Structures are given as C-alpha cells and as structure tokens.
Structure 1
Amino acid sequence: MTTGRDILRVTLRRNAGAISAGTLLLGLYQAAETAFPIALGLIAEHTLRERELGSLALSIGALAVIITTVSLSWRFGMRILQQASVTEAHRWRVRVAACGLQPVAGDTDLKSGEILTIATEDADQGADIIEVVPLLISSMVAVLVAAVALGLADVRLGLLVIVGTVAILSILSVLSRRIGTSTREQQARVARAGAKVADLITGLRPLHGFGGNHAGFLSYRRVSTEARTQAVTVATANGVYAGIAQGLNAVLATVVTLSAGWLAFEGRITIGELVMAVGLAQFIMEPLKLFSEMPKYVMTARASADRMALVLSAPPVMAEGRGRPSPGDDLEVEGIVFGGLRELKFRVPAGEFVAVAAYQPGAAADLAAVLAVRVPPEAYAGVVRVGGRELSDLPVAAVRERLLVNPYDGEIFAGTLRSNLDPGGTGRPVAEAVEASMLTDVVALHPEGLDHGVRDRGANLSGGQRQRLSLARALAADADVLVLHDPTTAVDAVTEQLIARNVALLRRHRTTLVLTSSPALLDAADRVLVLDGGAITAEGTHRDLLATDETYRLAVSR
C-alpha cells in the first residue's frame, strides 16, 4: 500500500546521487559564506598588528577565492537539485496520471479535476523534498561552522549559538505541524473547487437549457469560498510562522552581537575576534531563517505526497490475468447479477450487430460498467467472455485491445479534432469514422479541418458535436468488439438515421453491441434484445418486435 511517507522515501532514494552532490556543493557554499566574516576578522587582526601590504594583498586574494567559491558552488548545486526535482516531478505526474486513467475497485472520492491538481501541483510540491534536504543540511553546516568559530574565540559565544538555534527550532517545529495540517486541508479544498469548475464547464449548455446556471454558480461560489477561507488561514499561519522565525533569529543575532561587544570591552576577545563575531551574528540570520523554514516545506511536501498516495494506492479493478484472448471475436454474457441486472444472459456471435433495448436506463449503465471492466469481478455474479476467454483471466490491457466500450459521456480533450480522433497518431481510419459519425459538417465548417482546435472537455462544441466526436473516436479505434452506450441521444432524428446506417455499414462483419432506445439504431441492428427487469425478455428484429410486442412499441416509438 503506497503512503505519502513511501513516496517521499522513494523520491529521496531515487535521487540520492543528485542530493549528495547538491548537499556537498551547498554545504561548501554555506561554509564559504561563513568563512567570509571569519576572514574579515582575521584581516582586521593582522592588519592592525603587522600593517604590511603583502599580508593585505594575500587577505584580499583569500576573500576573492571565498567569493568565487560562494558563487560557483551555489550555482552548480542548485542546478543539480532543480534538474533532479523537475525530473522527479515529471515521473510522479506520469504515474499519477496513469493510475488516474485506470479503473479502480475502490472509490477514491476524487473527481477528474482533483486528480488533475494532484498530478500537477502536488507532484511538483512533493518533488521539492529533493531541494529541501540539501538546504536543510547546508544550513545546519553554516550554523555549526559559525558556532565552532565563535567557540574558538570564546566558548560562551559558541554555546550561545547552539542553545539559541535549538530553542528556535523547538518553537518553530510546533508551528510547522499546524501549517502542515492546514496545508493539507487547503490543497483538498482547492482541488474540489477545480473539480467543480470542470463539472460546470462540462454541463454549461444543459444548465443554460433548464435555467440552472445560477444554482450552478452558487454551488461553485460556496466551494470556492471554502477554499479561499482555508487559503487565508494557511497564509495567516505562514505569516505568523515567518514573523516569529525572523524575530527569534534577530533576537539571537542581537544577543550574540551584544555578548561579543561586552567580551571585547572586558578584553577577553580581540578586536579582530569582535569583527568576526559581529559579522557571524549578522550572517547566521540567513541560514537560520532558511533552516527554520525547512520544516514548513517538509510538511507541504508530505501533504502533497499523501494526496498522491490517494490515487496511487487505489487497488486495481481486478488482479491482472496472464492469459491472452482467443482468436474469436464473439461476446458472451452469462448469468450476470449486478445492480439492476438479474441473471443476464446473451451472446453476440462474431461479426453480428446486436442492439439492446433497455427499459430501465440504469440496467444499461450497469451492463456497460461490467463490460468496460469498471467493476471488479468479485462484485458481480456470472462471467463475461470475449473470444471464449473470461475477462477475469485477461490483463486489462489485453481486454481493451479486443473490447472497446464507448460510454455515453465520453471525455473530449483539449487539442484538435484529429488528436481526439487519433490520440496516439497511429494512423487510424479517421476519414471513415468522421463520415460514419456525421462529423463531416464540423470538419467542413472550419478552414483548419481536422486540425481545428478543441477546448478542454469540448467547451467550444455543442452537445451533439461532442457526442459525434466521441462516437467517431470509438469507430476510428476499429476494435474487434465494440460496445456503444447511447451514442446518438444528443443528435436530431435525421442525423440519427444517417449515423445508424453508416455505423452498420462501417461495422459490417465486426462484432458490435449497441445499448440504445433509438429506433434508428434498433432498426439497423441484425437483432434486438429487450432488457427488462434485469434480464432478456424478448428477442427479434426491430420491425418484428414492433409488430408483435405492444410494450416494446410503446417503449421505443418516438
């Protein structure tokens, strides 16, 4: 089971080389930064004592070396770490996206908009742990070097830095835990707001149609207000944290400076040591600030990793089988009991075009879910076979190579018409699919043709255009066994007639199952199965059933 802690552990282990190199270079950077005030103190000491130009030139040369080391070590150290962080974020984005596209047995209670946020923002923030660890260690190096240098001047100054640092971190660790909890809640609420926007965009036209756009707006405003309130809470906590950290660091620097001044006044340290102490007191404020901020970033990375784990730990819809489909393209459903289905049994021989007229829409949706492998085999009774092999014996990828289920609410992606029809650029029969689905008018309407831009979720297309694009994509896949669920509910009657005829011609001699109440598709089918009460109650051609079955005639006539 993947957890947020596991994700961070894998991230650190996989990038151990980059983290080691980055830590070494950033540690060198902090050590050189610390050496700068120490060098100034020594220069002041030797200049006052010896007053020689040679010593002064040597000291200036030493300062030049220190400055060069500071510049180069920071530049190359951060370059290594940022490259590793970006690469690691890409790996987690791909993995989260892959898991989000796979059917899972458990309900993660995450919508597509939330998964998008997790695959982008949370993946980036989780990978930030690669930079956090070296920065944390290098800051500790700076504080320790400063403490040792001050301790050599006077033990009390070194102890003051160490004790003060421990006290500051103890106080800030309490605050960082609260920030981590608030950040997790903020990320969840922002993701929910993003999902709500995606849902509203998808249903914008229907909302306008029945006057529900105002209610949809109010729903989004409520979710967005919750996200804003939580964001203000997190920002307030971060502000308090930063203010307290800055104040504590300033207090420590002031105490060290005053203590060094008092010791110099009493003659216990030299003027050069005083210059060094004052310089180090000012310098350690920056690594202390960085050191004190790291727990906050660790908590943020942990919160993001926990959210990624919600997607990555979701169990697959079924254990991966090891078999391969047999050569046959027949589809067999035997004794299925699930949802609204009761001992459902039928067979579609290879090459036949069969339509299922479901009197209860929920039963059709349950059948589509089972065939699409969105339901684990243990959740229903009975078996589904493709080419004589049970779906539970086959890997999901192998099932999808042979059996394609196109849902009635198929997603449309940002890109072009062509990229939606042939996402992988595999040279599918796009032209035939466009013509069969009557998408030709959409292609001809725009000068770019198939390269016409499509917005996210097809926001610039009508409901009928989106449905025809989804149907064309399914037809272009040229699957051995194709299942279509209500593919023409958003098109007019004339277009529906043409689509039904075209689909029957294009899928001739290919196994096709259509779940529909469309008279045009029912008439185009070789055979119609009547699904009522969860079982097949009648069978025949559309016209025979119209003539002999009054219930059927009333159910499908328009």
Structure 2
Amino acid sequence: MQIQDLPYPDPGAPDARSGPRFLWWLWRNQTGGQLKSLAWGMLHFVSVSALPFCVGLAVQAVLDRSGTRLALTGGLMALCGTGIAVGDTFLHRSAVTNWITAAARVQQLLARQAAQLGSALTRRVAAGEVVAVSTGDVEKIGWFVEAVSRFTAAALTVAVVCVGLLVYQPALGVVVAVGVPVVALAVLPLLPRATRRADIQREKAGRATELASDTVAGLRVLRGIGGEELFLDRYRSASQEVRRAAVRSARMWSLISAIQVLLPGLLMIAVVWHGVHLAREGRITVGELVTVYSAVMVLNYPLRHFEEIAMAYSFSRPSARRAARVLSLRRATDIEGAREAQVPGGDLYDPATGLLAPAGRLTAVVCGDPDAAGRLAERLGGHPAEPGASVLLGGVPLDDLPLDSARTAVLVQDKDPVLLSGSLRELLDVPSSGAVRAEDALAAAQCGDVLEALVQGSLDASDPLDARITERGRSLSGGQRQRLALARSLITDPEVLVLDEPTSAVDSHTEARIADGLRRMRSDRTTVVFTSSPLLLDRADRVALVHEGAVAAVGVHRDLLDSEPRYRAVVTRESDDEPAPTSPGDENVADGNALLGALEQLEEIEESA
C-alpha cells in the first residue's frame, strides 16, 4: 500500500482484544511495507557499519605503503557511501509510508466504528476519549508500527557487526560482543517504571481533553450561570497535573538516554584501553585497533534504536489500548444482519419495558429518569446495551436487519443534537424519502427567526439556505439549534422518528406551534417523543409512563394527569401532598388545560392584531 492508494478499500477486521494484539494486527497487515523497510534499513545500517572496516584497511594500507590496497579500500568506501545514501533515502520513504498508512488504517477503522454505532458511541465512550484516540493516539500507534522494522534492521546489524569483529579480531571482538548486549539491555529494568509514568501522563492528558471538550461545548450555558471561571479553573488544575506527569515521565526518559550515552562511552574506553595494551604487545596491528574503535563508535547509531523502540512502545501501548476499547464496541448482533435488506413497517415494540408505539401514531413517553430515557431511546434506535434486548418493528427485530435498513427505518434525535459547520443547505442535505421539502420542515420546526438570524449574520447570503453555520452551531442559541436539528430530522422522513426532549430549550409559545407542526408533518408516520412538556403530551395520540424500567400507565395526557399520581409528579413537578400552585407567574404550572387555554388566547390576540 502506497500513500497515493489511500484510503483503504477495506481497512479490515481489527483484533481489538487488547492493545498489544491490536498493534500486532496492524504490523501483520503491513507485511509488505515492513519487509521493504527492513531491507532498506539493513542496507543503510550495514553500509554505515562497514565504514570502520574500510577505515582500518585504509590505515593499514598506508602503514604498509600499499597503493593497490588503498585504492581498493577507497572503492569500498565509495560503495559504502552509495549504500548509505540510497538506503537512508528509501528507508525514510518506506518508514514514512508505513507510519502514514498505519495511521490512516486506524483512522478509517475509527470512522467506520463511529458510522456503525452512531450516537451510541459517545454514550459508551466519552467524547473526549474519542477525540484523543482519533488525533494524538493515531500518530503514536503509527510511530510504533513503523519503528518495528527499523529496530529489527538495527538489531540485526548490531549482531552482524559483533560476529564480524569476533572473526576479524577475536581478542577485542570478545570485549565488544560481551559489552554490546549489556549496553542494549541495561535500560530494561527502567522501562516498566517509564511505561507506568507514560501511562499516567496519557491518562491525565485524556481526562484534560475530555474536560476541555465538555467545557467548550457548554461554554454558552456556563457563561449564563456564571460557571465559566469555575470550569476554567478545573481545566487549569487538570492541565497542571498533565504538566507534572509529563515532567516526571521526561525525567525517566532522560535517565534512560543518559545511560544510553554513558555505557557506550565506557565500552569504548574499555576497548581502547585493552586495544592499546594488545597493540603494544604486538598482538594486533594499528589498523585493527582503528577498525574496532571505529566500529564501536558507529554501533552507537543502531543502538539508539533500542531506546526509540522502547519509547515508541511505551507511548503507543496506552494509545493502542484506548483504540482497541473503542473498536471492540459492537452492536448486539452482526452489522450485516440476518435478514435481507428491507424497511419494515408496523408497530414499534420494546420487550424490555413493554413500550408500544402504534404505527402512524404520535406516542409520547414520560420517564422520570433522564438517563433511563436516554438508554430507552438508544434501544429504540437499534443499539441495545446488551444482546437479546432488540426492539421489534412490525414483529421484526431491528438487530436482525442490516445496519442500513435499520437506520432507514428508525431515526433517533438525541437530546443534544450536533450541527456540523457549513451552509444550511448542506446541513439539510441528508438521506431522505424525498416526500418532505426543506421549506415545510423548517416551517414545522418554527425556524423563521433562525433563518433571519442566519441571513443577518452572513455578509454574502441573500438566501437563508446559503447562510453559513459555525462549528457545532455555536453562534445560535440552544433553542435555535434544537429547531434546526428537528427540521433536519423531519426532512429524512423515516418510518419511525424518535425524539429525545426536542423542545427543552424553546419557549412555551414556540413549543405549542412545534407540537402542531410535528403532528401535521408526521400524520401518517410513527413518532415517539420523550418529553415531560404538557404541550407536547396534550398533542400525543398516546402517552406512556415508564417507571422503574417498565411501562406503568398508558392513556392520554388529560386522563393520566387526573388519575396517575406518578405521572402528575413528573409532569407538574409536584408531590402528592402539595397543592397545585396558583401563582400566575409560577413556572411549574399544575393544570395543563389552563396553560393550553392561555396559549390559545395569546394566539387569538396575535391574529386579531
């Protein structure tokens, strides 16, 4: 695989059982590139290591006044120089290719995982961790996968040089053959501690990234409640913890680097000291001494790769572990599904809670626990937390359907939907049935003021659909983002639309109009709305109260308000022994009928005006 051939047609099925297994799987899937890098690395390192022998031969040729041997040695040195240049050039090319292709494979795997799991991914893994894996962790994983072949070439070269010195000059070769393994393995006792410190640094950095991501995402809300400085202080504290952990990790790696400099120096001193004594005794020639000395000096170059591979593995192991954790997440059944591609119709039924959403009806679900409501919405979208908990659509388990068919059948809009940057036209250009126009969906979601705000904020857009939306829609209010997301969901026109608190950030008057528009646009489609708003509940054909993981009551809003205390406690926020509030300014309106009547009077006043 070359860089110009990216992306991969199929990145493969990763071994995500553990971080090391995932690294090994990546390496095996790049065997061709790894062997190529190993071959060029051997050419480069062997050529570098052969220079000392050429230098020794040249020195001895000068001492023996042999012009022929000197010319021959000069030719060998030129050949070694060519090998160094060619090997280094193509080693760098192959190493960078291995690095980029490994990183690209991981990114494709993560992108495919995000596409398969959808919004369920961030429910199972923190968004900050996903960001950390798809950015910095990808580079560290690619670094280790690429460094393995260079390290192997360096290790083989060290072995070849040691054997060559034993054959060339046994008296000094023994010293080198014994000393080099000691130099290479001396840092092994320090690696576990260095790895632990690197793990701690990565863990603290991941938490800081999560905190920063959450703070940025909620900055508007934090400013509104005056909590901006509080969260900034928390991030500063987390950042300082990362700095301290990085310093402790750097100290250990500095010690390892110092040992990698000290021990080769001591080995060189030992070789020179012993070699001088042998030369004085006439047991070796000056050329042989120069050769062994130069070889020991040059060995420092491949020996540095022992430190690099240790560092690369130490930094990539926690990254690979996080990537493997994300990639190990699965749907309850296989992605392809056990049935043929189809979009079934009929009632939506959840066996776990007993919730039934009749086909073509608007069903509202009231749940006192927001987390339980989120899990139920996830399950209705075909992402159960455990196998065997699939919902049925028209009697067909969603898990038995291919992923594309399941997503065409059921669409879940999260409580906090994300708006991607770009024009409004691009935002609304989503896969759809084609039956719902963008203008109609925007009108049903009451996006008139949103369109005006987008046009006013854009300098070159006369058509609202051409106006630009900033990253995550941060220039819009929470209610405006909710309404645009609702319009996007209405355009898709799925068989089943599941909305989790779609109007929690809009005012009551707008909410009432949205409820009417939603009922009108989805008149012949199945719609499930998780809400506790009396305005939406009063428009629903059917209301289900979910209490302690099961449907506790079913009916219409007004009947449940009168007959079901648990329902009334969730909707009106009052307990059984508390009287209904009568203050007209109280936000907790106990009587939903009175609120609806007041809104109808407001509408009549507006129309008459």
TM-aligned CA distance change 1:257 to 1:455, over 3 Å? farther
Aligned to 2:553: 537
- Which secondary structure does the structure 1 equivalent of 2:528 belong to? strand
Aligned to 2:603: none
Q: Paired residue for 1:93, among 90, 94, 107?
A: 107
Q: Does 1:412 align with 2:419?
A: yes
Aligned to 2:504: 489
Aligned to 1:241: 256
1:425 and 1:273 map into 2 onto residues whose CA distance is 79
Amino acid at match of 1:67: G
Aligned to 2:575: none
Name which of structure 1's ranges 357-366 and 77-86 shifts more when overlaid on structure 2.
357-366
Q: Does 1:331 align with 2:347?
A: yes
Aligned to 1:340: none
* Correspondences of 1:140-219 after superposition (within 5 Å): 140-219=155-234
1:334 and 1:426 map into 2 onto residues whose CA distance is 25
After TM superposition, give the deviation of residue 134 of structure 1 in Å: 2.0
Amino acid at match of 2:161: A
Aligned to 1:310: 325
- Which secondary structure does the structure 2 equivalent of 1:373 belong to? coil
- Which secondary structure does the structure 1 equivalent of 2:64 belong to? helix
After TM superposition, give the deviation of residue 144 of structure 1 in Å: 2.8
- Which secondary structure does the structure 2 equivalent of 1:50 belong to? coil
1:19 and 1:361 map into 2 onto residues whose CA distance is 50
2:70 and 2:351 map into 1 onto residues whose CA distance is 95
Name which of structure 1's ranges 497-506 and 274-283 shifts more when overlaid on structure 2.
497-506
1:421 and 1:265 map into 2 onto residues whose CA distance is 87
Q: Paired residue for 1:118, among 133, 149, 154?
A: 133
Q: Which runs of 5+ in 1 are unaligned?
A: 338-343
Amino acid at match of 2:94: I
Q: Paired residue for 1:9, among 24, 42, 48?
A: 24
- State whether residues 326 and 388 of structure 1, in contact with CA within 8 Å, keep that contact through their aligned partners in structure 2: no
Q: TM-score, normalised by structure 1?
A: 0.86
Aligned to 1:390: 397
TM-aligned CA distance change 1:281 to 1:537, over 3 Å? closer
Q: Paired residue for 2:356, among 304, 321, 346?
A: 346
Q: Deviations over 1:174-195 (max 9, x none)?
A: 1122222222222121111101
Q: Paired residue for 1:369, among 378, 388, 394?
A: 378
TM-aligned CA distance change 1:260 to 1:454, over 3 Å? farther
- State whether residues 151 and 305 of structure 2, in contact with CA within 8 Å, keep that contact through their aligned partners in structure 1: yes
1:49 and 1:425 map into 2 onto residues whose CA distance is 87
After TM superposition, give the deviation of residue 106 of structure 1 in Å: 11
Name which of structure 1's ranges 482-491 and 303-312 shifts more when overlaid on structure 2.
303-312
- Which secondary structure does the structure 2 equivalent of 1:483 belong to? strand
- State whether residues 153 and 269 of structure 1, in contact with CA within 8 Å, keep that contact through their aligned partners in structure 2: no
After TM superposition, give the deviation of residue 235 of structure 1 in Å: 1.0
State the Cα RMSD in Å. Answer: 3.4
Amino acid at match of 1:386: L
Q: Paired residue for 1:82, among 83, 96, 99?
A: 96
Q: TM-score, normalised by structure 2?
A: 0.80
After TM superposition, give the deviation of residue 283 of structure 1 in Å: 1.3
Higher relative contact order (CA 8 A, sep 6+): 1
* Correspondences of 1:244-323 after superposition (within 5 Å): 244-318=259-333, 321-323=337-339
Aligned to 1:464: 479
- Which secondary structure does the structure 1 equivalent of 2:356 belong to? strand
- State whether residues 264 and 271 of structure 1, in contact with CA within 8 Å, keep that contact through their aligned partners in structure 2: yes
Q: Does 1:554 align with 2:590?
A: yes
Name which of structure 1's ranges 418-427 and 179-188 shifts more when overlaid on structure 2.
418-427
- Which secondary structure does the structure 1 equivalent of 2:391 belong to? strand
Aligned to 1:513: 528
- State whether residues 179 and 299 of structure 1, in contact with CA within 8 Å, keep that contact through their aligned partners in structure 2: yes
1:395 and 1:129 map into 2 onto residues whose CA distance is 36
Give the number of equivalent residue pairs. Answer: 546
- State whether residues 151 and 158 of structure 1, in contact with CA within 8 Å, keep that contact through their aligned partners in structure 2: yes
2:249 and 2:287 map into 1 onto residues whose CA distance is 45
Amino acid at match of 1:70: I
After TM superposition, give the deviation of residue 46 of structure 1 in Å: 1.8
Q: Does 1:42 align with 2:49?
A: no
